[in-house]
Amino acid sequence: MAWRTLTLVCVAMLSACTTGTERVAEVDRPNIIVILADDLAYSDIEPYGGEIETPNLARLADNGMTFTYFHTSPMCSPSRAMLLTGVAQHRTGYGTMAEFLAENQVGARGYEGQLNDRVLTIAERLRSGGYRTYMTGKWHLGRDSEPSSRGFDRSFTLIQGAGSHFDERGYAEFMPTVTYLRDGEPTELPDDFYSTDAYTDELIRYLDEDREEGKPFFAYLAYTAPHWPLHAPEETIAKYEGKYAEGWSALRQKRFDALKEAGIIPADAPMSDEHPDVPDWDSLTPEQQAHQAKIMAVYAAMVDRIDQNLGRLIAHLEATGELNNTVIIFTSDNGPEAIDFTTDPIFPPATNWVAENFDNNTENLGGPLSYPFYGRPWAQAGAAGHRYYKTFVTQGGIHAPMIISWKGRIDSGGKTRAFATLLDIAPTLLEMAGIDAARSAGDGRPVEPMAGKSMLPYLSGRSDAIYPEWDGQSFELFGNEAFISGDWKIQRLRKPAGDGEWKLFNLARDPNETRDIRAAHPDVFARLMEGHQSYIEQNGVILAPDDYEMFGT
């Protein structure tokens, strides 16, 4: 267990470590930074074999632990609610996406479409425990429950789920502009605004201006990249021009092979079938190939720019002497995004709105006057062998990268296949900070219990797993359902994405869900189904009607 041993982390207010009785003074409670990428594929970055230049994420992994079996919800708002509260998605107000409530879910408890007042955020809990609390980036948890009302001392946030990375333009005719708030009040953007750079600048400014001896900080840095529209500075895009000329199937194979080489998936693991609507690269004209290769270059530049800004943040922590006592967690909210408003009729008016207001000619892609989308073929490549992508409970939608670093405290460079989810981050951080996860709101209102597990016992070597045998977590969105416990997963996909039947997979041997083994393991299937049904009943899950169709496939 030495490879994942936490070296004498006895945080104030916790019981003594198994390796000694000394406790660290309260002033040594760690600073905490949680960095959330938006629609990042787990195969994109260097620690998972990706070709996109991400040396700072590699450095973070070298100084910490890389989780290769980490899970999210299938989509943005439910994931953000889970991350910030540790509470089951269906209790937070985001039983589904607020934008896509089914008729039978409207007005129901747990489906309020904003972070409800029955949950506490990490920021609320940490601030009550003496932490300074900051947020910059994407909120997407409701205008009426914005960050300054949910425990953040200072914040600079995009309230909606998407928008231009260069200005306030929105994403459809009904949302032509988006809202940015600074400490709860509307604010204007500067002329040289680029989202990833600006969020990092703002956070560093907070850390500089509010430094207070003996008072640690919690920062939530929620980048909007690489979510559409695909925008990046010209000089970063230039690094990737021509890199993706071989096309999406070639990239998918390279990513899949790299995962095998890194030991993240078995050498004999099969890929899932390619989506039937993904065209053969050779069927495209040279002009179409150039256009699509440029789209992928812009996406890569967005990921690269995240890494550059992580480097700036780490350099600042080093310069101020804070790095060695700062826990940094990096993850994504879900798998890669396949939707393209210019071709998919999700918001029909959006197709015309993009065409009428933006210039998506190849040479203009990535600039402020363009509005390109990632699209299904590249999303499938990013999922790297997995089936489907964001919005689905398949591994392509819920398997994400996660790196946790605490320099000098967590043994460096380790990889773990321990099952963990976004729900486990909040209880882990509270335990590291010495704050009781059962603490109430302080005003007498009932508070929903956390559903996640602290990862600290596992990281410290006091436990062999994060979840006990047969314990696990459920996943549900738009009526598609899954439950994972250890290596096992049960899953049901509604038509047209699936056949509506429950299936069983062993993700250790078959990480891409290609072989249904329910018939061979009826006892395993029954145990997992029992766990999932318990979740459905205890958390008030309301499945959308059978004829509800959100995104098709």
Buried b (16+ CB within 10 A) or exposed e, 487-519: bbbbbbbbeebbeeebbbbbbeebbbbeeeebe
- Listed in sequence order, the residues at least 6 apart from 127 whose beta carbon sits closer than 8 Å to its beta carbon are 133, 151, 152, 153, 218
Cβ count near 392 (within 10 Å): 29
* CA 123/CA 118 separation, integer angstroms: 15
**CA nearest neighbour of 35 among 426, 313, 455, 329:** 329
From the candidates 10, 17, 71, 76, which is the catalytic residue? 76
Do 240 and 230 meet the contact criterion of CB atoms below 8 Å apart? no
In three-state secondary structure terms, 232 is coil
* CA 352/CA 393 separation, integer angstroms: 30
Active site residue 10: no
Whether cis (ω within 30° of 0) applies to the bond prior to 286 is no
Where helices occur in 283-394 by DSSP H, the ranges are: 286-319, 348-357, 376-383
**CA nearest neighbour of 247 among 342, 344, 381:** 381
Active site residue 140: yes
* CA 176/CA 196 separation, integer angstroms: 21
In three-state secondary structure terms, 484 is strand
HSE-up of residue 446 (Cα within 13 Å, Cβ side): 4
Reported as type and span, the H/E element at residue 392 is none
From the candidates 71, 90, 140, 227, which is the catalytic residue? 140
Q: E strands along 104-229, which residues?
A: 132-138, 154-158, 169-172, 175-177, 180-182, 185-186, 217-222
Q: 67 phi and psi, to 5 degrees? A: -90, 125
How distant, in Å, are the alpha carbons of 13, 85, 119, 179, 311 from that of 447? Answer: 22, 11, 5, 29, 38
**CA nearest neighbour of 199 among 142, 163, 156, 241:** 156
Tell me the two tokens of residue 483.
């439950």
Reported as type and span, the H/E element at residue 195 is helix 195-209
DSSP result, 429-482:
HHHHHT--TT---SSS---PPP----SHHHHTTS-S-SS-TT--EEEEETTEEE
Residues in the chain: 553
Q: Specify the amino acid at residue 531.
A: G
* Residue 249: exposure state from Cβ atoms within 10 A (0-12, 13-18, ≥19): middle
Tell me the two tokens of residue 451.
């559903």
Q: 352 phi and psi, to 5 degrees? A: -70, -35
Active site residues: 76, 140
